Structure 1
Amino acid sequence: MDVRAYTPTREQYVYTFGGAAPALRVKPGEALRLWSDDAFGGALQSVDDLSAAKVDLRFVNPQTGPFYVEGAQPGDTLALHLVALEPAREWGASAAIPFFGGMTSTDRTVSLQAALPDTTWIYELDRARRTVAFAARHSDHRIELPLEPMLGTVGVAPAGNEVRSSLVPERFGGNMDTPQMRAGATVFLGVNVEGALFSIGDGHYRQGEGEACGTAVEGAMTTTLIVELIKGAAPAWPRIEDDTHWMAIGSSRPMEDSWRIANAEMVHWIGQLYGLHPIDAYQLVSQVAQVPVANVVDANYSVVVKVAKALLPDAHAFGGIHDDLRARARRL
């Protein structure tokens, strides 16, 4: 299988889902190798670079795309299989940004407290050891952490001709910031407009669940993925399948509504997979679900509800396309 490469110029970066002309037209079944910049657009390169001076929040999370998928129509399901995610730089950056994050006053959670100090951390990448190094700013502590690449943003154009910031997660996907979005996973997104117009970006070299300070180890990424299209059967909210779990993602505020969305999606999905009455599926999911929090910092909060495949009988979602894509990925 051939792999088609695309690297945007800075002028081709897109900062929204919806509202942008397609960068490329792709066919279902094609494999793409896509370069994406970090959330800061490379603006933070040393600990002396501070977000207040270097980062304009109107232009963060630059997207690579959008890509027009031939044959995609509203109501279809776009399947993107993440074959490989590889850091494209030797360093990643993280930051405490004034009035942004889960443990500070924000524009929505307002108090009279001053902003937390504007601070930048640079994580050095060791490719041979597959680690990134945390270096404390106020002591000599240095801790090697495992490299765990993921994508913060994967999404399609929203419905109704909406144009949404690349900071927003919603039913179209977007800035979900879940560590579950990693190599080996297949994400399923409902198509809202002709061509789907999907984009990716916001690579993270690693991130804790919740992304508490508002930023992960942000880094440029080279992503290899396979594009597929399933006619009809669009999920209402993003779903992910990997070799071990079924997952659904809800994004809203307050956080319990995010959980309710994802939990309802999982109840519906398990019911479909196993032919269960909704009340039986509800009972089953109640006993087997895990609920990692993806982020508590974005315009909406994202919560994942996941079920381990090993706990349930064999089943095949969307005609078993995940297993097929895994097999195709091994041939790349």
Structure 2
Amino acid sequence: MSESILDVYQEREYPYTYSAAHEPIAEVDPGQTVRIHCVDCFENLLVEEDQKFSDVCEYPYLNPQAGPIFVNGAEDGDTLLVHIEDIEITRDWAVTGLVPKFGLLTPTAVTEMLTESIPDIVRKLPIRDNRVWFGDLSTELAPFMGTIGTAPKLEAINALTPAHYGGNMDCPETCAGNTVHLPVLNEGALFFCGDGHATQGHGEIGGVACEVPVNLVCRFELIKGKAIGWPRITNDDYMMVVGSARPLEDATRIACTGLVDWVSTEYDMNTTDALLWITQILELRVGNVCDPNYSVVAAVERRLLEARP
């Protein structure tokens, strides 16, 4: 493993799609630690509370990505491991708010209603003392990557949409100390990331987290010849699978099916036994219920899968 850190900057226009058509911005070897410099989901253009979201962005031009990064040796059918070492917030405030026709509790372009949409509101929230402040209220910083993934094999899919390759999952589990497992669908894996969050509640029901520019410090590893269908997340304590779809129950089915299959393989259990036991110990967490696809994390503690005398 290299002890030096390779800084990666987006020195051309930010891509707003996950696609193999984008030219790589960097080439790295597995084991190399990289620091990927990312703007926020509004490309750092939303800086005052008297602005409107419509002043700086137009759907679907949200979540500018850093990437793609070409990982040497990665081939279709491999699994890319992204060991997240740190997520460095690079300014002393976050932006949040409400976007008309976006979020769980408002009419949207695909869930039309006669009722009025939520208003266009922008709020700047100070960051100090390792906390995000909302007036006199505060919560601890818990930074994570809202978007993280690899290029799909054929499609160009907007960076607001999560799917089998990762993308805009908005799962707080994509944080420092965890490893994100992503399918490799193209030579070089073609890794993208962005949409840094200082913190966010599960579900992101209002549509906008505490949005910040960040530097993702990570290290890549390859599992050769082992394909996975959906993103996985691991640490010393948990194994997790992320499913993304609409309706929410289909995202849940994807995540739970992937977890049952994974546990049955890794712990040498038949599928029936794995399902029976996971039913008793499963943790379900909602990543987002506001994006074009919803995301669900199915998680189990490893200690509950290990036989005890």
Quickly name the TM-score band, shorter chain normalised: over 0.9
User: Could you list the per-position Cα deviations for residues 4-60 of structure 1 after superposition, in whole angstroms to 9, with x for gaps in the alignment?
Assistant: 001224x43111111211111111111101110100111221211111222222321
Query: Could you give the per-residue CA deviations for residues 227-257 of structure 1, whole angstroms, max 9, x where no partner exists?
Result: 1111011211000001221100000000000
Q: CA deviation at 1:123?
A: 1.0
Q: Report the equivalent of 2:54.
A: 52
For the 8 Å contact 2:60–2:160, the answer to whether it is kept is no
RMSD over aligned Cα atoms? 1.1
1:71 & 1:222 partners in 2: Cα distance?
A: 24
1:145 aligns to 2:139 (yes or no): yes
> Residues of 2 paired with 1:155 and 1:297: CA distance?
19
Matched, 1:2 2:4: yes
Taking the aligned partners of 2:6 and 2:56, their CA distance within structure 1 comes to 33
Deviates more, 1:61-70 or 1:11-20: 11-20
- List alignment gaps of at least 5 residues for structure 2: none
Equivalent position of 1:71 in the other structure: 73
* Residue-pair matches, total: 304
Please give the residue correspondences for 1:1-40 in structure 2 after superposition, counting only pairs within 5 Å: 1-9=3-11, 11-18=12-19, 19-40=21-42
- Contact preservation (8 Å) 1:43, 1:49: no
Q: Which residue of 2 aligns with 1:132?
A: 132
Secondary structure at the aligned position of 2:300 is classed as strand
Secondary structure of residue in 2 paired with 1:287:
helix
Cα deviations by residue, 1:277-331 (Å, 9 ceiling, x for unpaired): 11111111111110010000111000000001222218xxxxxxxxxxxxxxxxx
CA contact (8 A) 1:152 1:175 kept: yes
- Counterpart residue number, 1:243: 236
Deviation sequence 1:151-197 (CA, Å, 0-9, x none)? 000100102x2111100100000000000110000011111011110
The answer to whether the aligner puts 1:297 opposite 2:297 as a matched pair is no
1:108 equivalent in structure 2 = 110
- Is contact 1:246-1:309 (8 Å) kept? yes
- In 1, are the aligned partners of 2:267 and 2:305 still within 8 Å (CA)? no
Q: Give the whole-Å Cα distance in 2 for the aligned partners of 1:208 and 1:144.
A: 13
TM-score by length of 2: 0.96
SS of the aligned residue for 1:170 comes to coil
Aligned to 1:84: 86
Between the aligned partners of 1:262 and 1:98, the Cα distance in structure 2 is: 30
Alignment partners' CA distance in 2, 1:46 and 1:289: 43
Q: How many angstroms apart in 2 are the aligned matches of 1:2 and 1:43? A: 32
Q: Which amino acid aligns with 2:142?
A: E
- The answer for unaligned runs of 5 or more in structure 1 is 136-141, 315-332
* Contact 2:233/2:241 (<8 A) preserved: yes
- For residues 38 and 77 of structure 1, the distance between their equivalents in structure 2, rounded to whole angstroms, comes to 27
**Structure that is richer in helix per residue:** 1
Quote the Cα distance in structure 1 between the aligned partners of 2:57 and 2:177: 32
Q: 1:35, 1:174 → 2: CA distance?
A: 17
Measured in 1, the distance between the counterparts of 2:22 and 2:99 equals: 28
Q: Which shifted more, 37-46 or 266-275?
A: 37-46
- TM-score by length of structure 1 reads 0.90
Q: Percent identical across equivalent pairs?
A: 38
Once the two structures are superposed, what CA deviation does each residue of 1:104-135 show, in whole Å capped at 9, x if it has no partner? 00011110111111111111111xx2101113
The counterpart of 2:198, out of the listed 192, 197, 205, is: 205
